[in-house]
């Protein structure tokens, strides 16, 4: 029986031992033969696995669980298992395997599946197991064991089984990108990252409320060279680029000049529409001009709090536009921010106004404009203890209406509604 039915004999011996333990009796060799005969009598068509398999894995019941599942799916006893604690020494694993092989007298081929370890070391330790061919494959899994078990039952050779299994069970992967990319605006400047950082700061300061858009200063050269294959596009959903020069990569671009001069408002609206309403976008544009002008003023003002005076000047410009019933272009607004702030500091320091030729003629021609400006500047005059003379008002008038490029159209009757301010 051991020679011609080695697997059946092995199972019969194991079952006989369990019977002896359960019933507390000794059945001996005859009992083992009876168990063997019962197997064949009750299942005469029982199909044997031509090549036994053994699964070795570290961890509690890991190998046994894989072997049990695969044997049930195949409806055959194909795999045995050796469970080894995590802390087990490698030599102990090999010793258990060697002991298992020696128990299977009559079997000349085995397939050993291991979860990890050096295959070469296993071979070295099993060289003295005579007359046995071993096929060893690592990275055991339920899928791999099921595949090998199916081929064993189909009668394939050990070489063919391991070759096909290693090909069919190569590791595959797929990345499922469920993480939502952050909507992002890149700021760039061809002269360097420093200016890009200033542009990013300007945009962040100007937003009237927090929005779910990330503003990132980025290297212009990298974008223009690599384009949309730049790593930033893998991490972020870039909805627009703001800067001094278009990198020409097919992403919506707004130059800083266009942003400050409020050109291409439809593009700005398209970018910020999901986050800001039309009124908030107007505030954003006004803030851009204010903070851009304030950044320039930092190098000119010496005694005034730049941020505080800019708030006052912003109020003055808003009242001027309302009183004159006109909307100043961005260039005029930026110029007025710088001019009026410097004007106030100049009057505080030396109390002297600039000289204006034909001031009397201006006074006679524009009494309504002078009255409007004096009324608007009343709070500033009180706060800073200064007086805005007609000379300075004449320069403000000239800046609004007589710039080299005509920017606004004058409405002669516009100051009549100033009382509604």
User: What is the pLDDT at residue 403?
Assistant: 56
Q: What digits encode the pLDDT tens for the residues 220-241?
A: 888 888 888 888 888 888 988 9
For the chain, residues classed under CATH 3.40.50.510 are 47-168
pLDDT (tens digit, 9 = 90+) per residue, 130-157? 677 888 888 889 999 999 999 998 888 9
Task: Give the E-state strand segments of 106-172 in sequence order.
Answer: 109-114, 133-137
The string of pLDDT tens digits covering residues 37-75 is 888 777 655 555 678 899 988 888 889 999 999 999 998
| Architecture in CATH for domain 176-290 | 3-Layer(aba) Sandwich (3.40)
Instruction: Over range 192-217, report the average pLDDT.
Output: 84
What number is the average pLDDT over the span 307-326?
88
Question: What does the DSSP 8-state code read for residue 46?
Answer: P
Across the range 247-259, mean pLDDT stands at 84
- Res 177: pLDDT: 65
Q: Kindly report the CA angle at 115 between 112 and 120, in degrees rounded to 5?
A: 60
The pLDDT mean for the chain works out to 81
Measure the CA–CA gap between 29 and 37, rounded to whole angstroms: 12
Distance CA 34, CA 31 (A): 5
What is the three-class DSSP state of 117?
A: coil
The ranges of the chain annotated as CATH 1.10.1790 are 298-421
Q: Can you give the pLDDT at residue 86? A: 77
- Torsion angle of the four alpha carbons 193, 197, 202, 203, in this order, in degrees rounded to the nearest 10: 90
More confident residue, 241 or 94: 241
Burial class (CB in 10 A: 0-12, 13-18, 19+), 236: middle
Place 6 in a pLDDT band, splitting at 50, 70 and 90: confident
Q: pLDDT value at position 99?
A: 81
Percentage of the chain surpassing pLDDT 70? 86
Confidence of residue 106 (pLDDT cuts 50, 70, 90): low
For residue 417, the model assigns a pLDDT of: 39
Question: Model pTM greater than 0.75?
Answer: no
- Which regions of 189-287 does DSSP assign to beta strands (E)? 214-217, 236-243, 253-255
Question: Measuring CA to CA, which residue among 93, 83, 82, 101 is closest to residue 119?
Answer: 93
Q: What CA–CA distances, in Å, run from 409 to 101, 367, 406? A: 102, 18, 8
| Confidence (pLDDT) at 405 | 36
420 has pLDDT over 70: no
Question: 298-421 adopts what CATH topology?
Answer: PTS-regulatory domain, PRD (1.10.1790)
Residue 7 has pLDDT above 80, yes or no: no
Contact 409, 326 (CB under 8 A): yes
Q: What is the pLDDT of residues 369-419, one digit of tens each?
A: 999 999 999 988 888 888 888 888 988 898 888 754 333 444 444 443 333
Provide the CATH topology of domain 47-168. Answer: Rossmann fold (3.40.50)
């Amino acid at each position: 029986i051991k020679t011609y039915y080695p697997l059946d004999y092995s199972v019969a011996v194991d079952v006989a031992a369990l019977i002896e333990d359960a019933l507390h009796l000794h059945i001996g060799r005859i009992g083992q033969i009876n168990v063997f005969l019962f197997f064949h009598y009750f299942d005469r068509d029982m199909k044997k696995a031509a090549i036994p398999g053994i699964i070795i894995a570290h961890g509690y019941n890991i190998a046994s669980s894989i072997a049990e599942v695969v044997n049930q799916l195949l409806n055959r006893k194909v795999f045995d298992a050796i469970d080894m604690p995590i802390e087990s020494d490698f030599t102990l694993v090999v010793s258990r395997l060697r002991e298992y092989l020696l128990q299977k007298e009559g079997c000349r081929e085995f397939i050993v599946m291991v979860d990890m370890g050096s295959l070469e070391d296993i071979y070295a330790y099993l060289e003295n197991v005579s007359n046995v061919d071993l096929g060893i494959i690592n990275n055991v899994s339920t899928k791999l064991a099921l595949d090998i078990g199916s081929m064993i039952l189909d009668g394939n050779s050990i070489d063919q089984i391991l070759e096909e299994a290693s090909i069919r069970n190569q590791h595959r992967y797929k990345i499922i990108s469920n993480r939502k990319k952050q909507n992002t605006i890149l700021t760039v400047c061809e002269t360097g990252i420093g200016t890009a950082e200033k542009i990013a700061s300007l945009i962040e300061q100007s937003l009237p409320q927090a929005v779910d858009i990330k503003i990132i200063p980025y290297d212009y050269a990298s974008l223009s060279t690599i384009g949309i294959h730049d790593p930033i596009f893998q991490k972020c959903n870039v909805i627009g680029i703001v800067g001094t020069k278009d990198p020409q990569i097919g992403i919506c671009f707004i130059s800083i000049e266009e942003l400050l001069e409020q050109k291409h408002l439809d593009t700005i609206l398209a970018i910020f529409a999901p986050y800001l309403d039309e009124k908030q976008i107007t505030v954003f544009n006004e803030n851009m001009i204010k903070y851009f002008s304030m950044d320039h003023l930092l190098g000119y003002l010496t005694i005034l709090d730049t941020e505080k005076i800019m708030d006052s000047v912003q109020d003055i410009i808003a009242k001027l536009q309302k009183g004159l019933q006109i909307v100043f272009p961005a260039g005029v607004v930026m110029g007025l921010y710088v001019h009026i702030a410097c004007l106030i500091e100049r009057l505080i320091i030396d109390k002297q106004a600039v000289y204006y030729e034909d001031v009397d003629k201006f006074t006679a021609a524009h009494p309504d404009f002078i009255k409007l400006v004096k009324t608007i500047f009343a709070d500033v005059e009180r706060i800073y203890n200064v007086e805005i003379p007609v000379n300075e008002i004449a320069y403000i008038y000239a800046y609004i209406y007589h710039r080299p490029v005509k920017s606004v159209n004058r409405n002669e009757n516009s100051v009549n509604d100033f009382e509604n301010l």
